[in-house]
Amino acid sequence: MLQKNDPAMVCCGRPVTHQEIQEVQETVRLFSNLSLHELTETICEHLNWRRASGNNKFDACLKMLEKLEAKGLLRLPEKKIQVKSKKTKIVLTSRTEPEPIIKNIVGDFGDINLEIVRDKKDIELWNEYMSRYHYLGYSKPFGYVMRYFIKNDHNILGCLLFSGAAKSMRVRDEWIGWTKDQRLRNLAWVINNTRFLIFPWVNIKNLASHSLGKVSRRLRDDWQGKWGFQPVLLETFVDPQLYQGTCYQASNWEYLGMTTGQGLVREGKIYKTSPKKIYIKPLVKNFQTILCSDHLTGKGTP
């Protein structure tokens, strides 16, 4: 016989019990005057359903509510029609124009600094550099984000970006050994080096591998300071038609294999790209134990 605390469903890796579903139904009835957004936030609070940063796991909770509505277990307020805002076009200015060739740096690599990009003007400058010089251009990163400038004295030599990991990737997921539910719950603790750019006029030998090594030693603390938790694994993709991944190899990233070139299967959508090399770098020794945990918690979680 089913008990109230037995899982009735699993949503985004979280078991939802029969008791919790009854409580959600009661909340929907009691707060029928709330908007869908307000209702979802309220239920997140009641269920203590939070992201690694401590914020409410809004998207996952909304998905659960929509599943319950599809089963006829509750009726949600109507969604408000949102007008999609136009993408902001990045205008190239004189501040990111090519500079004279740099072959040497003042001092040695000890004078290379990584500066977290925080304020609006610096973010706009970072975005402009990326749009102008990276072969993939600029696209708005998703999830948790950390931008860096690579600097020597007052000179900016390049840019780094870390953001959300790939949702699903067979080679990586089998290597980690986590279950689907563990991946859905714990994916935030894996982060992706989404962009890496050394400016075309900077020809300093080993700068790329040195920068990768330096950022990997401080990234956990920087992430803790900004987002309230510490990642345990880095990943990145390298297009073999353009690069071999030499700088990642030199800074002790491990080659795992190739992507399939197919994205997550979504109804009505087709996504395909060329296969990429997958490189990973653990930030702690017991990363697999952490990622396969059923009780991993982040900021603000008891």
pLDDT for position 85: 55
Pair (24, 173) in one structural domain? no
Pair (217, 151) in one structural domain? yes
- Residue 222 CB-density burial (10 A; 0-12 exposed, 13-18 middle, 19+ buried): middle
Q: What is the mean pLDDT of residues 32-38?
A: 87
Range of the domain at 65: 7-70
Pair (29, 151) in one structural domain? no
Write down the mean pLDDT value for the chain: 89
Structure tokens at 67: 């599943």
- Asked if residues 56 and 44 have their Cβ atoms less than 8 Å apart, the reply is yes
Residue 243 is assigned to a structural domain of this protein: yes
Give 144-160 pLDDT, tens digit per residue: 999 999 999 889 999 99
Strands across the sheet containing 277-282: 112-116, 146-152, 155-164, 190-198, 233-238, 277-282, 254-258
pLDDT for position 2: 39
Structure tokens at 257: 């294999």
CATH of the domain at 220: 3.40.630.30
Residue 161 is assigned to a structural domain of this protein: yes
Q: Please determine, for residue 1, whether its predicted confidence score (pLDDT) is greater than 50.
A: no
The whole model's pTM is what? 0.85
pLDDT for position 221: 97
- 53 pLDDT tier (thresholds 50, 70, 90): confident
CA 137 to chain centre: 18
Q: Please determine, for residue 64, whether its predicted confidence score (pLDDT) is greater than 70.
A: yes
Q: 182: helix, coil or strand?
A: helix
Pair (260, 155) in one structural domain? yes
Q: Please determine, for residue 137, whether its predicted confidence score (pLDDT) is greater than 70.
A: yes
Residue 76 is assigned to a structural domain of this protein: no
How many domains are contained in the chain?
2
Contacts of 285 (CB under 8 A, 6+ apart): none
pLDDT for position 265: 52
- 301 pLDDT tier (thresholds 50, 70, 90): very low
pLDDT for position 46: 86
Q: What is the mean pLDDT of residues 37-51?
A: 88
